[in-house]
Amino acid sequence: MMILPANESNEQPLGKPISSVEDSVAGPARRPSAVLIGLVKLIQTAVDKGAVSIEEVHSSIANGPFRILNKISVIAPVSRCVQEVQNKTIEGVYGIIRVINQGAGAMAKTLLQVQDKIRD
């Protein structure tokens, strides 16, 4: 059990004992699952935004050589086709990452809600 810091004279504690991490973060009225659901949402948002950012960088780097190849008239038609396939592949991979992230988050939230019902 952790005690909140004492005042300057070190005679009496300033607050009540904290019995758990959940009490210190959310207060005793919130269930542990509510804190965890909030954490799940935070992680989902971070993964989603990270995937979008990385996809943009990946696409930018991958399209660099095509900007040059597309200027060469003899190979430009083939280059554009290959570039399109590559862009769709990149979009697909990062799209799947975001779908899996959403599904994992939804499953975690559902399991936490079921856990609450079992406890009641």
**Residue-level pLDDT, tens digit, the chain, 120 residues:** 344 344 444 444 444 444 444 444 445 456 778 888 899 999 999 999 999 999 999 999 999 999 999 999 999 999 999 999 999 999 999 999 999 999 999 999 999 888 888 877
Cα 10 to Cα 6, 18, 35: the distances in Å are 5, 18, 32
pTM of the model: 0.66
Buried/exposed 51-81: b ≥16 CB within 10 Å, e otherwise? beeebeeeeeeeeeebeeeeeeeeeeeebee
Other CB atoms within 10 Å distance of the CB of residue 99? 10
Decide: 75 and 69 in contact? Cβ < 8 Å: yes
